[in-house]
Amino acid sequence: MRHYFPILDWSKAYSRETLTSDLVAALIVTIMLIPQSLAYALLAGLPPEVGLYASILPLVVYAVFGTSRTLAVGPVAVASLMTAAAVGKLAAQGTPEYYGAAIALAFLSGLMLLAMGLLRLGFVANFLSHPVISGFVTASGIIIAAGQIPHLLGIRAKGETLPDLLHEIWINLNDINIFTLVLGASTVCFLFWSRTNLKDFLLSRKVRPGLATVLTRAAPVAAVVITTLATAIFGLKARGVAIVGTVPQGLPTPSLPPLDLQLWSQIAVPALLIAIVGYVETISVAQTLAAKRRQRIDPDQELVALGACNIGSAFAGGFPVTGGFSRSVVNFDAGAQTPAAGAYTAVGMALATVFLTPLLFFLPKATLAATIILAVLTLVDLGAIRRTFAYSRADGAAMAATILVTLAMGVETGILAGVALSLFLHLYRTSRPHVAVVGQVPGTEHFRNVERHNVITAPDVLTVRVDESLYFPNARFLEDYIQDQIAENKAVRHLVLMFPAVNDVDSSALESLEAILHMLEASGVTLHLSEVKGPVMDRLRRSHFLDALTGQVFLTQYDAMLHLAPALTAKTLAASRRETSRNGA
């Protein structure tokens, strides 16, 4: 019970002090979240109020189910872009079908996350490698930023891929609206300046550090207020500046998501992708922040929590939500102590939905575009390609490929290509276990790789050390390897397989070992094992492999050599004895 409802844990010790910290954090996050949630709704191609709806119920749900003390969930840039890409294929923006599909997407990806959590399948997320995720996020950030340029210029241009977008912008460049451009460009400059310099500026004017932080965080809200007022006062709507317009006032009426199985099957793949990408983002943020306070995150419970949040978002008429990086950091820095801070943020967002929406009528879309651009620029990390490539060529190539495919072919193809590439690299790597022919280090009982060390080997004994567990993807490699070794070394009469690092031998590998045994038998070579771990030995005893084994199982490789090449080993043993007693004396 307590496992699935972490709220039961932390709520017991909830004090007045914690309440104060949580309330302050909630206030700061609310101020940040209002413009962001409007902007991400527009990015997803949805009416602005949907962004507000997605920032209320999910936060309350996370407070009940989440294991992170400071994670802030809500609409985020990448998931919004993925929503637009998925839903845009099924219906036209602005239609009830489009909105319904976005709700269904939240619901279905919520169900998937919940199921994965209850089945404890969190490990599935590990199969998106870091380079692929990082490349995907960078490329998404570039597409999102490029997609905002038309809003800043006051022109129309749409496109799911970077080439399409740039082409459309180029074609429509004549339609630039100068008022929109001035408004948009100055908002971008102001936001950029405030992010880098506002705090120092305020501190130099003797503003208290705490207040300076809050004021800096409130800069996007200030931009919203100023540009809205400017638009209203100077009648910029008549000059062609696009505005948000009427935003329905009041809380959403809870409703069932559309139970349309045909629709569900059409959005199943994007729902899964959004679920996994969102989860990976969420868990990374949660773990980073938890570590700073030596707290624990339960990855499987986070699946349950994020699933419940998305189901909650769907019931409240919202779209897919995940744990956001920047807002969680803000929440953490502002001193949030428990997930209750999230619930208070939800109250703040609900109040904004009830009271502030009429004020948003004259809010220019260019302002929201500027907010988005500033938010996603932190996602773009092109230097990571160089760093990753320097560390590992394969990983660097995977990252570059994911970026290129995402930019050129859109987010869905991009992430699918990334997943496929990750899995392929993984499968390729695990299909080649690390094995080495070893020999005795003179004067010791140690055995080392013949290619790297100066070691002693007997001509008729070949010892192969297997450095990984044997299971179906790599079992045949060992067969091939030994076949090659035996074909090359015609003098060999004994083969010793040294298993110090073999933790498991599955049925496929057992069949490979049997195939190796028969192959060696046919070639007149005896097969021995050495240094087999206890659990592996127990399991082998349950098969008939040990009965059929032509040679012996030795406890140590030294025993094996003592038995199979006594003359050679005795010599180095004597050397070893002399050496040891000299040291010991």
Helix or strand holding residue 323 (H, E): strand 322-323
Name the minimum Å distance from CB 161 to a second copy. 23
Unique residue bearing structure tokens 């990374």: 284
Give 130 or 195: the residue with its C-beta nearer to a second copy.
Answer: 130
11 contributes a contact to a second copy by CB under 8 A: no
Among 569, 514, 566, smallest CA distance to 543 is for 514
Q: Which of 486, 527, 560, 561 binds a second copy (CB under 8 A)?
A: 486
Q: What is the residue whose two structure tokens read 């210029």?
A: 153
CA distance 47 to 507: 56
Q: Which is nearer to a second copy, 263 or 415 (CB)?
A: 415
Q: Which of 15, 542, 547, 567 contacts a second copy by CB under 8 A?
A: 542
Minimum Å distance from CB 162 to a second copy? Answer: 25
* Measured distance CA(50)–CA(38) in Å, rounded: 8
CA distance 165 to 186: 23
Q: By CB under 8 A, tell whether 234 contacts a second copy.
A: no
Q: What is the DSSP string of 186-197?
A: HHHHHHHHIIII
Q: What is the DSSP string of 504-523?
A: -B-HHHHHHHHHHHHHHHHT
Nearer to a second copy (CB atom), residue 57 or residue 384: 384
Dihedral (CA of 94, 99, 102, 104) sign = negative
Q: Which residues contact 58 (CB under 8 A, 6 or more apart)?
A: 73, 74, 309, 310, 312, 313, 316, 318, 321
Nearer to a second copy, 41 or 277 (CB): 277
Minimum separation from the CB atom of position 222 to a second copy (A): 34
SS3 category, 89: coil
> Rule CB under 8 A: which of 553-582 touch a second copy?
577, 580-581
476 touching a second copy, by CB under 8 A: yes
Residues 334-363 that bind a second copy (CB under 8 A): none
Please identify, among the stretches 54-62, 148-156, 324-332, 508-516, the one whose residues bind a second copy according to the rule CB under 8 A.
Answer: 508-516
Report CA Rg, the chain: 31
* Contacts (CB under 8 A) with a second copy, residues 284-303: 287-288, 290-294, 296-297, 299
* Residue 42 DSSP SS3: helix
* Least distance from a second copy to the Cβ atom of residue 63, Å: 22
Site size with a second copy, rule: CB under 8 A: 76
Residues 127-156 that bind a second copy (CB under 8 A): 127-131
Tell me the backbone φ, ψ of residue 454, rounded to 5 degrees. Answer: -90, 95
Binding mask 417-436 for a second copy (x = CB under 8 A): -----x---xxxxxxx-x--
Q: Which of 480, 555, 570, 571 binds a second copy (CB under 8 A)?
A: 480
Site for a second copy in 54-113 (CB under 8 A): none
Q: Rule CB under 8 A: choose which of 47, 342, 364, 473 binds a second copy.
A: 473
Place of tokens 């638009």: 231
